[in-house]
Amino acid sequence: MAAMLWDPLPGNQVRCRLCPHGCTIRKGQTGLCGVRSNLNGDMVSLVRDVVSSCQLDPVEKKPLYHYLPGSKTFSVGSAGCNFRCRFCQNCQISQMSGDGIVPGKRIAPDKLWQLALQHKARSVAFTYNEPTVFFELVHEAAAQAKAHGLGVILVSNGFMSDACLYALQRRVDAVNIDLKSFRDDFYREFCGGRLQPVLDTLKTVKALGWWLEVTTLVIPGCNDSPAELQEIAHFICTELGPDTPWHVTAFHGAYKMVDHPPTPLPKLEEAWRIGREAGLHHVYIGNLPSLLGSSTLCPNCHGVVMDRQGWQVKRRGTPGQCPACKTQLAGVWR
Ligand code: SF4
């Protein structure tokens, strides 16, 4: 299927403009993500209508805690990724073998909104693997979803070009972006990426007006020093705003780090405190139960606005409003 956002080059080569890798691809080859290919001098997507998994999820599972809380989202994944994270939890669909075979079944992008409505979802989420690399599916399915009254969510590593972001400008409502570390060497060594483009994406997303939440998977001994967590929290607070929710989540062994120890709860609670001390209003602990990091607190009077148990949400009073002092919290509540 014809791909978007690429340029022809001399000698039947093509250059992809979707992500900061900017792959130059020779005839018959694929880009680093394994799902964008040069077919006789034209770029094609191998996954424009390939869905590896789709299911109904609580929107909190993305995680998004300030976007239509308590609602269901129809989650859709395809195949491929522009990162090589050694700790990937979805490596069966994200890491391509390079043989051009992609896992999944064919579903036309303009059918996804129907499935979402049949399942009584409020939104469609492009997730499980990196949505940047199945851009054409997202681009088409998102337009259809919005035309039929559904919200559109991306769960992304943030390694996207401006061209990709602006092409989706009117088709996306909310995003959760990983900020995996504040060190470029971590991005290079553990992910096969770079830090600065992710920081740039976060700032662009803020400027685009999409609802934004940020996630950091805290991996013992790799990205969990207080100094690094402070840098992440400071960046979010000063560049993205203190109302931007930050999710600090527990690592469990996966892919090439299957034997690495899991994140202990006290480390996540330390990250929670670091986020709050940096000035963030909403810091959440994920992947482990914790009383400290599960409730939404009012930034004015510090009372509880929403309780959570697992993915269950208990609101108190008007959505997004503190029941005690009536402060309106940042987010998309209905
Ligand atoms: S989306 Fe894929 S082909 Fe395009 S630049 Fe990124 S890794 Fe390369």
> Does the CB atom of residue 195 touch ligand 1 within 6 A?
no
pLDDT of residue 98: 66
Listing DSSP states for 175-235 in one string gives EEEE---S-HHHIIIIISS-HHHHHHHHHHHHHHT-EEEEEEEE-TTTS--HHHHHHHHHH
Distance CA 283, CA 90 (A): 25
Distance CA 295, CA 329 (A): 13
Is a pLDDT exceeding 70 seen at residue 211?
A: yes
Ligand 1 atom nearest to 30, measured from its CA: 3
> Does the CB atom of residue 21 touch ligand 1 within 6 A?
yes
Listing DSSP states for 97-124 in one string gives -SSS---SEE--GGGHHHHHHHTT-SEE
Q: Quick one: residue 331, left, alpha or beta (phi over 0 = left, psi -120 to 50 = alpha)?
A: left
Distance CA 197, CA 194 (A): 6
Give residue-wise pLDDT tens across range 289-309.
Answer: 988 889 999 999 999 999 998
pLDDT of residue 100: 67
Tokens describing residue 304: 């509880």
State which of 18, 38, 95, 135 you would mutate to test the pocket of ligand 1, scoring each by most atoms of that ligand within 8 A of its C-beta. Answer: 18
Domain boundaries, the chain: 6-45, 52-315
Superfamily of domain 52-315 in CATH is Aldolase class I (3.20.20.70)
- The residue nearest atom 3 of ligand 1, judged by CA position, is 31
Q: What is the mean pLDDT of residues 64-91?
A: 96
Give residue-wise pLDDT tens across range 128-177.
Answer: 999 999 999 999 999 999 999 999 999 999 999 999 999 999 999 999 99
